[in-house]
Amino acid sequence: MCGIYGYVGSNAISKTLNGIKKLEYRGYDSSGIAFFSDTFKLNNLIKNYNNNVTTFKNGINIIKEQGEISKLEKIINVLNPKSETAIGHTRWATHGKPNIKNAHPHFSENGNWVVVHNGIIENYDELKNGLTSYNFSSSTDTEVVAMMLSKFFNGNVLETIVNVCSKLVGSYAFAILNYKEPNKIFVAKNNSPVVVGYGENFGVVCSDLNSVEQTKSLFILENNQFAVVEKNNVEVFNNKLEKINLKPFKDFNSESENSLGNYKHFMLKEINEIPKAIEKTVVNYNSFEKIKKAIPKSLIKKLKNILIIGCGTAYHAGLIGKKLIEEQCGIKTDVEIASEFRYNNFKPNKNTLAIFVSQSGETADTIKAVKMSKAYGLKTVAITNVKNSSICFEVDYVIHTCAGKEIAVASTKAYNAQITIFYLLKAYINAVLNDQPELVFEESKNLIKIANVIKNNKISEQTKQIALKIKDCKSVYLIGRGLDYYTAMEAGLKLKEISYIHCEAYPAGELKHGTISLIDENKYLFAFVTQEITKEKTISNINEVISRGGKVIVLSQFNINNNDFNEFIALPKIDQLYMPLVAITYMQLISYYVSVALNYNPDKPRSLAKSVTVE
């Protein structure tokens, strides 16, 4: 998943730089810009950046840098290039190491073509075999596209682009410069999101609606569409080069930019915003009428089972949803990892309601699963945190979590908001099936109470101490039963993705069937014991671990503390059904403090990105 941005108009380079900074959530392994300028190559400071700067006689210039965009910005501030046409890219490596060579933009040998790309060209190897006379400097699929454009150039830029795209297999959103058209950016789209637009004396290209300059005319390209972007104008064509008149998109999501405030990291800020995220989500759907607007009663009345699909944290939220719906509504609910569902040759019953959970609404695996479900004839619902995200345009119905913009890669407040929706959804299902609309409002009151418990729950000191205890251990195991197991899974993901410590979550009863052989005095185990019905059994599993020297940290609201525990976290005494909303906040904070103690950046963990827009 990468971010592409392009701008035609004054200050194009700073506009493009700011554009890719807004897209940094899509990847930050490396970044770069390309721009037209006939004078830049005369800048005598370039010699200090030979690895980063490439200039061509035709006026095209490229600056690239490894790592976060701030490093690219430093070079640009020193060299201070000026241009009226620029394209930029922030990368999450899919082909080739995250270094300068593989950073975008990529260009043809003669420098006549420059490309930034979000997506994966699946047949790039085969295409590269047909380019043996070309010298490649990177191991990326995108550079192959740049060389293809050069090879097949027939004098007409757009025709050449359409022709080359017809040879590609895979997903792409391209922004392309050609030396013949210094005032235009050419765009091509297939299965990767891209929007184009124009305003007073400018034109713009961006990977998503929420990062683009708000313009009076913005168009969301569809697959096999091409655009020519220039100041005050955008033209859109199909792959037969017939002009298409797209309806401009108007419904902007004017969420204010997030600032860090007094927090050191967005992740800590967002953990502290969990109560507000729950409250705002509840307020949005705190009555039967409000939820009915999002999901019609008719859909609930005839459903036979529910299929919940997502990735990572969103998948874990789906597991909580499964438990709530099955046990509280008696409806069979399956949960699938989106990238696995894609390859199941099993057609769900047509009365299955498919619910897709996705914070960003841009996750390629999840969006593909939506398309498959629709092809099966299922009704589809998205639970997403980003208005106007790609998934919103794919599904039949959308429920919005109202967690506010989530910037840290590790999802926290959005996860709590996602499971909040599942509490409200199970209430809505029961309200429809039992003709008791008041159940939704009742549920919303319970959830507001839980938000207040979290708000007043001062846990940072103990979580900090525990973080310092576990920060150097090699492996952490996490166990629970039922809801506690699903919380353990999410807790394990949080800890591993920002501390890089190996974590494994296991159903408590499963540990003794193999994994317990890994337990010794160097291992920590978190045990979640919040459900009365499984308390005794899980305590037995805890004792099995202690007897093998494992250090056990227990999280429970029950009076079960004893000296054999390495640590005991006394959870607030609330209705155990709502423990998934509360117990996870301890682990989110512990994970955050471990990451900080290890001097990592919890907001931008290595190898990850906020939105995974490649399969």
Residue closer to ligand AGP by CB (options 348, 602) is: 602
- Per-residue x/- marks for ligand AGP, 50-89, CB under 6 A? ----------------------------------------
- 585 lines the binding site for ligand AGP (CB under 6 A): no
Smallest gap from residue 429 Cβ to ligand AGP (A): 23
Cβ distance to ligand AGP smaller for residue 176 or 209: 209
Write b or e for each residue in 457-468: b if 16 or more Cβ atoms lie within 10 A of its Cβ, otherwise e.
eebeebbbebbe
Catalytic choice (184, 280, 323, 610):
610
Which 282-341 positions form the footprint of ligand AGP (CB under 6 A)? 311-314
Q: Which range touches ligand AGP (CB under 6 A), out of 68-76, 205-213, 356-364, 574-582?
A: 356-364
Contact 416, 274 (CB under 8 A): yes
Three-state SS sequence of 47-64: HHHCCCEEECCCCEEEEE
Q: How near is the Cβ of 403 to ligand AGP at its closest, in Å?
A: 11
Measured from each CB, the residue nearest to ligand AGP is 312
Q: Is 610 a catalytic residue?
A: yes
CB of residue 359 vs ligand AGP: minimum separation in angstroms? 3
Q: Which is nearer to ligand AGP, 313 or 530 (CB)?
A: 313
- Pick the closer one to ligand AGP by CB: 63 or 410: 410
Nearest Cα to Cα of residue 103 among 56, 59, 69, 60: 69
Rounded to a whole number of angstroms, the minimum distance from the CB of residue 229 to ligand AGP is 27
Give the nearest distance from C-beta 89 to ligand AGP in angstroms: 20
Supply φ then ψ for residue 346, to 5 degrees: -130, 125
- Tell me the residue type at 516: I
Q: Using CA atoms, how far apart are residues 530 and 159, in angstroms rounded to an integer? A: 63
The answer to whether 241 and 223 are in contact (CB under 8 A) is: no
Report 462-501 residues binding ligand AGP (CB under 6 A).
497
CB closer to ligand AGP, 31 vs 360: 360
Alpha-carbon distances of 392 from 116, 357, 363, rounded to whole Å = 25, 11, 12
# binding residues, ligand AGP (CB under 6 A)? 15
Among 359, 430, 463, 487, binds ligand AGP (CB under 6 A): 359
Stretch that binds ligand AGP, among 121-129, 219-227, 405-413, 534-542 (CB under 6 A): 405-413
Q: 406 to 435, contacts with ligand AGP by CB under 6 A?
A: 409-411
Query: Closest Cα to residue 354, out of 295, 435, 437?
Result: 295
Q: Is 187 in the site for ligand AGP (CB under 6 A)?
A: no
CA angle 283, 261, 385 (to 5 degrees): 35
74 tagged catalytic: no
Q: How far is the CB of 539 from ligand AGP (least distance, A)?
A: 30
Q: Are 469 and 446 in contact (CB under 8 A)?
A: no
Q: CA-CA distance, 234 to 199, in Å (whole number)?
A: 10
Contact 246, 219 (CB under 8 A): yes
Does 612 engage in binding with ligand AGP (CB under 6 A)? yes
**Separation between Cα atoms, residue 266 and residue 271, nearest integer Å:** 9
Round the CA-based radius of gyration of the chain to a whole number and report it. 26
Q: Which is nearer to ligand AGP, 65 or 603 (CB)?
A: 603
- Beta carbons of 615 and 339 less than 8 angstroms apart: yes
With CB under 6 A as the contact rule, the residue among 66, 215, 363, 591 that binds ligand AGP is 363
Give me the least distance between CB of 363 and ligand AGP, in Å please: 3
Cα 511 to the center of its chain, rounded Å: 31
- For position 366 contacting ligand AGP by CB under 6 A, the verdict is yes
Both ends of the chain: CA-CA distance in Å?
9
Rounded least distance, CB 495 to ligand AGP, Å? 11
C-alpha of 283 from chain center: 25
The least distance separating ligand AGP from the CB of residue 212, rounded to whole angstroms, comes to 19
401 binds ligand AGP (CB under 6 A): no
Binding part of the chain for ligand AGP, among 12-20, 352-360, 375-383, 578-586 by CB under 6 A, reads 352-360
- Please pick, among 2, 206, 311, 503, the residue that the annotation labels catalytic: 2
Q: Tell me the C-alpha distance between 354 and 351, whole Å.
A: 9
Out of 85, 286, 358, 585, which residue is the one contacting ligand AGP (CB under 6 A)? Answer: 358
- If the CB atoms of residues 192 and 360 are measured against ligand AGP, the closer one turns out to be 360
Site for ligand AGP in 506-565 (CB under 6 A): none
> In the beta sheet, which residues pair with residue 86?
7, 35
Nearer to ligand AGP, 61 or 363 (CB): 363
Distance from the Cα of residue 132 to its chain's centroid? 37
Q: Which residues contact 120 (CB under 8 A, 6 or more apart)?
A: 94, 95, 141, 170, 171, 614, 615
Strand partners, 353: 306, 379
Considering the complex, state which of residue 174 and residue 526 has its C-beta at the smaller distance from ligand AGP.
Answer: 526
Annotated catalytic residues are: 2, 610
**Contacts to ligand AGP by CB under 6 A:** 311-314, 358-360, 363, 366, 409-411, 497, 611-612
